[in-house]
Structure 1
Amino acid sequence: MPSSEVDAAEKAKLFAVTGRVTEAVPFGDGHINETYRVRVDGGPRSGYLLQQINTRVFTDPAGVMENIARVTNHIRRKCLETGRDPDRHSLTVIPTRDGARYVIDEHGHAWRMYLFIDGTVGLGVADSEATAREGGRAFGEFQSLLRDLPGERLNETIPAFHNIDHRLEQFRAAVAVDPVNRGRDAQREIDEYGTRAPAMREILSAAEAGRIPERIAHNDTKLNNVLIDEASGSAVCVIDLDTVMPGYSMYDFGDSIRTVTNTAEEDERDPDKVAFNMGYFTAFSEGFLSETASFLTPDEITLFPFAAKFFPYIMGLRMLTDFLNGDVYYKTRYPTHNLVRARSQLALLRAMESRYDEMRAEIKRVSRACYITNSR
């Protein structure tokens, strides 16, 4: 057993688990946090999920866990009101043995634990229109459930997370400094992302003008952040709540479309394999708007097609910036991994642009149909 697994098993014992911890093995392929599945004797058959929070990214773990506790408690109450199992349809935070939401170890690392949700899978790529629709329904329901969250504004766990002005400032600084001498390997991508920048302020401009309301957003709505029931194919639970904070509805729509409609993995090396699946776009939109059309404003919905284009751009921009800075944010498996990701996002953006008029027409049609259905 690698030393990291031994260490994780010891950290798991700091939490109020039922039973005896037997092992903690690496789980999943997330870009940011280190995750382990914890198995126990004499406790829940499914076990637990242990995570070391990346405090280079999330510098305020207390604020992150305060948000997660508020959000999950609210969703759990709503599950109970509607007769759904809260341990399956919401994350369950397992407290430490001292009753805290997380623990800081002797090395200054932050750890937290959830109940593991068994019989589910997170998909990196949509495999059917039904899956795309379920993903849309799950993220739409997530926004709907949280629109009446009581209390103060949630903490901003990563300030200016999707703020394009901020991300462009970081990008231009990386290009200017070129700290690890990678600029020459990415000049074509640097030029294209730079040229496209002026057209990417539509959401920010609408927010600055007061045309769209601030909402609670998930802010990281990759398809694999929805757990799908392995038996039924139905969405079970939205996970990875570190970035749940104030935002805009089109953030959650756009980032999902980026992953749901891409016919290839996010890090596909061959851009020719990257295409835009219009059927999945329509299916996801149907699911998302079936849960949200009744309360979103027309200005919000009108921005959905732009949001779909915006997210390959801003995510690719961030990946390119990280490549130029020496891969300090995203986990990578090889030296050009982030550059490959940035190229793949550009290929997806171009594919979306070729279908943009169709996207706008579909959003108009689907939103009208969902609004009529919800009004009956």
Structure 2
Amino acid sequence: MTSAQIALAEGWGVRAIVSPLGSGRINDSYLAQGAEDRWVLQRINRFVFRRPDVLMDNVARVSVHLNTKHPGWTPTLIPTRDGANHAQLDGDIWRLWSYANGRSLAKLDNDRQAEAAGRAVGQTHRWLQDLQGPRLDAAIPGHLQLERYLAAFDAGPDAEPELMDFIDARRHLAGHFRERNGIIHGDGHLDNLMFGEDGNVVAVLDLDTVMWGHWAWDFGDLVRSVLGGQASATRFAAAARGYLGAANVQASVDDLVMAPRYITFMIGLRYLTDHLDGDRYFKVGAHGENRQRALDRFRFLQALEAAEPAFIDSAASLVETRGLEDGLNDDDDRDH
């Protein structure tokens, strides 16, 4: 038996055919196919998640809360034979999820899907506003805070001079989105959304980084992912329209335009830092993959910068329209 089959049998008393699932770069995920049911088994990356108790407490609280708002919005944690939300075997942390129906989209076919993705992230933010209990503690301290990643980069080996110049020219991005003002998903990109046959999102996956943060961190990651490497102002507008229509946030034109640039720069910086540090965080098939991932993000960032005028026009139109709608709603409230 493999380690995954042993964990499944000892932790949950389940025997199933187990096979690798997905291409995640952090945890190890497996499809567990039983005689009648199927589940997703995961081994948590202990190097990345060094506070597994915090991680699992956050995940359990948030998944229950979201599923009371909309049943099936996230997968359900399956309790172990002992009633716990995870099993610890030979130093590894394992957990078992219900299987989420729907399909993930590596690339979108149209702007309607982008709007649906934005709406799903916005709705998740709205539903998380009234989560009861103490404020969520970050499973990864400093996650998505650009100044932290710049400090980690500065503490390591230098990159090539041209990359150092590229990074230095964009350090100012760390001045954006410092305020943490609500509960966010923390990994709000396209891979973590499951779409139904009608083109709408039916489930949100991967709650490992739910935390108190800034809404623009999730929004920026969403836009980055739905653009698929193309700085399309119309695709950006569709995602932003969906998000703003569902979320309860005060967004400026600058917030909307800078969010995808902030997150794209940050992700590229993380990949480059990990490359220089020996690929300890993100999974790679060979040394050099993280450097190439960084270069791809930096090239996309340059495309976003070049498209700034079109993005500003799109964002301004959305903010103006939303302001008019809010004004009409205020008038309606006064009439009643």
How high is the TM-score relative to the length of structure 2? 0.92
Q: Does the aligned pair in 2 maintain the 1:123–1:223 contact within 8 Å?
A: yes
Q: Does 1:150 align with 2:132?
A: yes
Correspondent of 1:247 among 213, 226, 241: 213
Q: Does 1:258 align with 2:249?
A: no
Q: Does 1:223 align with 2:219?
A: no
Q: Which runs of 5+ in 2 are unaligned?
A: none
Q: Does the aligned pair in 1 maintain the 2:251–2:319 contact within 8 Å?
A: no
Query: 1:66: which partner in 2?
Result: 57
Query: 1:54: which partner in 2?
Result: 45
Structure-2 separation of matches of 1:303 and 1:90: 28
Amino acid at match of 2:278: G
Q: How far did residue 373 of structure 1 move?
A: 4.8
Q: Does 1:112 align with 2:95?
A: yes
SS at 1:175 equivalent: coil
- Across the aligned residues of Structure 1 and Structure 2, the Cα RMSD in angstroms comes to 1.8
Structure-2 separation of matches of 1:72 and 1:136: 20
Q: Does 1:127 align with 2:109?
A: yes
Please, which moves more after superposition, 310-319 or 194-203?
Answer: 194-203
Residues 352-372 of structure 1 show CA distances to partners (whole Å, capped at 9, x for unaligned) of: 111212222222322343455
Query: 2:5: which partner in 1?
Result: 9
SS at 2:81 equivalent: coil
Q: Does the aligned pair in 1 maintain the 2:43–2:92 contact within 8 Å?
A: yes
Query: 1:343: which partner in 2?
Result: 295
Amino acid at match of 2:258: F
Q: Which runs of 5+ in 1 are unaligned?
A: 80-85, 177-182, 208-212, 264-274
Alignment size in residue pairs: 328
Structure-2 separation of matches of 1:112 and 1:344: 33
Query: 1:188: which partner in 2?
Result: 162
Identity %: 29
Q: How far did residue 226 of structure 1 move?
A: 0.5
Please, which moves more after superposition, 218-227 or 30-39?
Answer: 218-227
User: Map of 1:62-101 to 2, 5 A cutoff?
Assistant: 62-79=53-70, 86=71, 88-101=72-85
Structure-1 separation of matches of 2:323 and 2:5: 50
User: Map of 1:24-39 to 2, 5 A cutoff?
Assistant: 24-39=18-33
Structure-2 separation of matches of 1:298 and 1:244: 21
Q: Does 1:296 align with 2:249?
A: yes
Does the C-alpha gap of structure 1 residues 117 and 167 become closer, same or farther in structure 2, counting only changes over 3 Å? Answer: same
Q: Does the aligned pair in 1 maintain the 2:233–2:314 contact within 8 Å?
A: no
Structure-2 separation of matches of 1:222 and 1:259: 6
Structure-2 separation of matches of 1:371 and 1:227: 31
Q: How far did residue 16 of structure 1 move?
A: 4.3
Query: 2:257: which partner in 1?
Result: 305
Does the C-alpha gap of structure 1 residues 15 and 363 become closer, same or farther in structure 2, counting only changes over 3 Å? Answer: farther
Q: Does the aligned pair in 2 maintain the 1:286–1:370 contact within 8 Å?
A: no
Correspondent of 1:201 among 146, 166, 175: 175
Residues 67-87 of structure 1 show CA distances to partners (whole Å, capped at 9, x for unaligned) of: 1111111111112xxxxxx2x
Residues 265-315 of structure 1 show CA distances to partners (whole Å, capped at 9, x for unaligned) of: xxxxxxxxxx312221111111111101xx31245x641211111111111
Which stretches of structure 1, 4 residues or longer, exceed 6 Å deviation after superposition?
A: none
Q: How far did residue 109 of structure 1 move?
A: 0.6
Q: Does 1:277 align with 2:232?
A: yes
How high is the TM-score relative to the length of structure 1? 0.83
